[in-house]
Amino acid sequence: MPATVIVGLQWGDEGKGKTTDFLAEQVGMVVRYQGGDNAGHTVVWGDQVFKLHLVPSGVLYPHITSVIGNGVVVNPATLIAELDMLTSRGIDVSRVRVSRSAHVLMPYHVALDRANEARLAGEKVGTTGRGIGPAYADRAYRIGLRMEDLLDRSVLEARIERVLPDKNLILASLGAETFEVRALVDQAVAWGERLAGYLDDATWLVQRALAAGEHVLLEGAQGTLLDLDHGSYPFVTSSNPVAGGAATGGGIGPLQIDEVMGVMKAYATRVGSGPFPTELTDEVGQGIASRGHEVGTTTGRPRRVGWFDAVPLRYAVAVNSVSSIMLNKIDILSGIPEIKLGVAYEVDGKRVDHWPSSGSMLGRARPIYETFPGWSEPIHEVRALNDLPENARRYLSALEEHAGVPIVLVSVGPERSQTIERAWRPMRHRPPVAV
């Protein structure tokens, strides 16, 4: 049975929660491999809506073990609140497992993130304010706390005593709140007591599941264009949402990945600052935003909306070695007379077909569009590709051609049943991508 990575091909919010939920019936384990509570997965389950930030959405299924991998930064307060919320709504959380080596996102990380963003004023990254950058920075600087440390008061005291003076110095200089060692240690000990039963050696859990022939889903948060290495730096998150991140953050080797399913929406959105060449600021964009409910799950910020951009799609397919695609929210485009698709850029008077690694070049990129006639009929009830309006099929074929890999699932509404399935089988060797 395969290990499948689910990865966002845009700026996050592609609907990965629905993809996981859709595939969940056939999998035994879902592993989150990076990010923290900056992510928001919305899963519609009958008449219930679940908004999850840390716990993988597989938790909604009693047969699935939901694993928070070593690559995640865990805010214990958020995790505990989420476990309580799920329990109060009748969901069994006993199969949630948290890697002992995942890093702890501490209250001073949140304070530092917010104070730093405030200082940046007009140069803001537009972070979610959840402390993600400072937590990953401490991990890289080897001064972070890991989840297992929450179980040992003396380790907590030693570590927090060592790091807190520096944190407080910076916070005080930014005019922000400072922290006391004792209060933080007490808080961390309480978190440890509450979470002890969930901590595990996640790498071996995943390896054992694969050895036993279970289908393991590795679920990325955010998206390729927010990747620390491959995204539009510095307007990125501080982890690696790309499929390679599933290996480092999920406890598997690259050759154990059988399929990489890329997830994308039929248009583009972005939250926070940074270049967005196909951004729409007119009423067409406003219409898409309101029909698509494009509001951040974590921050409630309105998402910026634009036409689909095939330039980063081709790049995302390449850097993730995408083998199949789920296309979400094509129903939101119904009723738009003309649909545009970004196919290349013009930069300084020259045509550019490749996603530029240079941030300043991306900032100067003007989109070159192909225009497609739209369709007016609603498509929520369509369950077979051939029943889509001809113009919708034409648009979909164009996306598939740019991607160079098959679109195997097409979502026409938020519910699991509102999905068009094309027959496909997981493949280790993806078709070649034109670069």
- Is position 429 annotated as part of the catalytic site? no
Is 120:138 a contact under the CB 8 Å cutoff? no
Smallest gap, in angstroms, from Cβ of residue 101 to ligand IMP?
20
Q: Which is nearer to ligand IMP, 75 or 127 (CB)?
A: 127
What angle do the packed helices 310-320 and 390-403 form, to 10 degrees? 50
CA distances from 76 to 8, 194, 300 (A): 25, 9, 21
Question: Buried (b) or exposed (e) across 362-385, using 16+ Cβ within 10 A?
Answer: beebebbbeebebbeeebeebeee
Identified binder of ligand IMP from the candidate list 102, 111, 226, 399, rule CB under 6 A: 226
235 binds ligand IMP (CB under 6 A): yes
Could you tell me which stretch among 11-19, 24-32, 89-97, 354-362 binds ligand IMP (CB under 6 A)?
11-19
> Exposure of 71 by Cβ count < 10 A (0-12 exposed, 13-18 middle, 19+ buried)?
buried
Q: Where are the beta strands (DSSP E) in 15-87?
A: 29-32, 41-45, 48-52, 65-68, 73-74
52 binds ligand IMP (CB under 6 A): no
Q: Which residue of the set 21, 37, 41, 309 is catalytic?
A: 41
Could you tell me which stretch among 96-104, 149-157, 221-229, 258-266 binds ligand IMP (CB under 6 A)?
221-229
CA distances from 293 to 9, 94, 187, 296, 418 (A): 19, 32, 37, 9, 17
232 binds ligand IMP (CB under 6 A): no
Is 257:5 a contact under the CB 8 Å cutoff? yes
Identified binder of ligand IMP from the candidate list 4, 5, 13, 116, rule CB under 6 A: 13
237 binds ligand IMP (CB under 6 A): yes
Dihedral class, residue 147 (left if φ above 0, else alpha if ψ from -120 to 50, else beta)? alpha
Smallest gap, in angstroms, from Cβ of residue 398 to ligand IMP?
25
Smallest gap, in angstroms, from Cβ of residue 362 to ligand IMP?
14
DSSP-assigned states of every residue in 242-281: SHHHHHHHHT--GGG--EEEEEEESSEEE-SSS--TTB--
CB atoms within 10 A of CB 64: 22
275 binds ligand IMP (CB under 6 A): no
User: What residues contact residue 160 under an 8 Å CB cut-off, 6+ apart?
Assistant: 145, 181, 184, 185, 188
- Is position 200 annotated as part of the catalytic site? no
Phi, psi of 314 (to 5 degrees): -60, -35
Q: Which is nearer to ligand IMP, 187 or 224 (CB)?
A: 224
Smallest gap, in angstroms, from Cβ of residue 219 to ligand IMP?
12
Could you tell me which stretch among 32-40, 168-176, 192-200, 392-400 binds ligand IMP (CB under 6 A)?
32-40
Q: Which is nearer to ligand IMP, 269 or 419 (CB)?
A: 269
Residue nearest to ligand IMP (CB): 272
Calpha distance 324→405 (Å, rounded): 6
CA distances from 205 to 4, 46, 83, 104, 128 (A): 16, 31, 20, 20, 31
The binding track of 91-120 with respect to ligand IMP, each residue x by CB under 6 A or -, is ------------------------------
Q: Which is nearer to ligand IMP, 302 or 406 (CB)?
A: 302
Identified binder of ligand IMP from the candidate list 40, 76, 241, 414, rule CB under 6 A: 40
- The torsion angle over the Cα atoms of residues 46, 51, 52 and 56, rounded to 10 degrees, is 20
Smallest gap, in angstroms, from Cβ of residue 236 to ligand IMP?
6
The single residue listed with the structure tokens 């485009």 is: 333
SS3 state of residue 312? helix
Q: Which is nearer to ligand IMP, 32 or 340 (CB)?
A: 32
Identified binder of ligand IMP from the candidate list 103, 130, 146, 265, rule CB under 6 A: 130
Could you tell me which stretch among 55-63, 201-209, 218-226, 330-338 binds ligand IMP (CB under 6 A)?
218-226
Smallest gap, in angstroms, from Cβ of residue 245 to ligand IMP?
14
39 binds ligand IMP (CB under 6 A): yes
328 binds ligand IMP (CB under 6 A): no
Identified binder of ligand IMP from the candidate list 107, 126, 363, 426, rule CB under 6 A: 126
Catalytic residues: 13, 41
Binding stretches for ligand IMP (CB under 6 A): 11-13, 38-40, 125-128, 130, 132-133, 221-222, 226, 235, 237-238, 271-272
